[in-house]
């Protein structure tokens, strides 16, 4: 009798803790989703450009502006001088030292993305509607124009594109930061959160889709790990070289 009462008390306590944990987990996830929506709203006038050749540390801001302006004007004749507020490349510039080895490394590195802030979201929509014209140009084969998505939404959009390749969904696109996709029954869904994406996969995708997504994520992690492990040695700055030369570990010999 005593053991059964103890078991009942322990079970009731555990169930209570589980309910509290689930409650806090759901609240935390809702806060994350709300924060993601707020961050995406702040990006409503931003656009990301991939594939424009990168001049490395020899490329000036004026040159980047010229490249982007020329590209957009070639597809959007309505572009006005004040439509582009500012733009810049993301990430450190690859070194362009005058040696064949470094030149090959620079050219083998994918060009850095360019983030563009436009005058208002309507300008962004107009430009993105014109991006289909790039498909007809061989010199712009690798240039892509897209909305600037948060890290969470960008990850979801990437997975959906992979599902499209596997014919698990018919089509996908973004609109004002919202991730849209059309299933094989021609029904359109909005999946802006990981929870809504998982729910879609459960209800509309074939069995085994979560195993495919897990392998996809593991392969992505392996590629990032291999990329980091194959990075060459970092170039030392002048200050670091002087500091090393002046350290007590460096011995100076003199002729007797």
- Model pLDDT, residue 254: 42
CA–CA gap between residue 73 and residue 123 (Å, rounded): 13
| Total number of residues shown for the chain | 256
Structure tokens at 71: 């590209």
Q: How many CB atoms lie within 10 A of CB 158?
A: 14
- Model pLDDT, residue 219: 82
CA–CA gap between residue 212 and residue 163 (Å, rounded): 9
Structure tokens at 76: 């959007």
Low-confidence ranges of the chain (pLDDT < 50): 97-99, 101, 103, 106, 235, 237-238, 242, 248-256
Angle formed at CA 97 by CA 236 and CA 52, multiple of 5 degrees: 110
Of 50, 238, 214, 249, nearest to 148 by C-alpha is 50
Question: What is the value of pTM for the model shown?
Answer: 0.74
- DSSP strands (E only) in 65-107: 84-89
Encode pLDDT of 177-231 as tens digits: 999 999 999 999 999 999 999 999 999 888 888 888 888 888 877 777 676 666 5
Structure tokens at 163: 């599902």
User: Is the domain covering 42-148 a CATH 1.10.10.10 domain?
Assistant: no
- Model pLDDT, residue 250: 46
49 contacts 71 by C-beta, under 8 angstroms: yes
**Domain range list for the chain:** 42-148, 150-232
- DSSP strands (E only) in 35-120: 46-50, 84-89, 114-118
């Amino acid at each position: 009798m005593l053991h059964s009462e103890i078991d009942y008390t322990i079970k009731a306590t555990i169930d209570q803790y589980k309910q509290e944990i689930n409650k806090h987990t759901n609240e935390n996830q809702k806060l994350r989703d709300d924060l993601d929506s707020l961050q995406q709203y702040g990006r409503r006038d931003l656009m990301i450009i991939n594939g424009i050749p990168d001049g490395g540390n020899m490329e000036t801001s004026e040159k980047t502006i010229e490249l982007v302006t020329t590209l957009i004007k070639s597809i959007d004749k309505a572009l006005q001088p004040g439509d582009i507020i500012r733009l810049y490349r993301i990430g450190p510039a690859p070194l362009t030292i005058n040696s064949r080895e470094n030149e090959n490394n620079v050219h083998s590195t994918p060009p850095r993305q360019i983030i563009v802030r436009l005058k208002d979201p309507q300008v962004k929509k107009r430009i993105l509607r014109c991006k289909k014209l790039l498909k007809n140009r061989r010199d712009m084969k690798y240039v892509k124009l897209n909305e600037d998505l948060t890290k969470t939404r960008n990850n979801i959009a990437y997975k959906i594109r992979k599902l499209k390749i596997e014919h698990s969904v018919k089509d996908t696109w973004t609109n004002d930061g919202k991730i849209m996709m059309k299933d094989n029954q021609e029904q359109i869904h909005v999946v802006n959160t990981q929870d809504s994406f998982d729910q879609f996969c459960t209800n509309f995708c074939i069995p085994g889709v979560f195993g495919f997504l897990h392998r996809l994520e593991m392969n992505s992690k392996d590629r990032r790990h291999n990329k980091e492990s194959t990075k060459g040695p970092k170039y030392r700055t002048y200050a670091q070289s002087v500091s090393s030369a002046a350290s007590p570990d460096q011995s100076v010999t003199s002729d007797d």
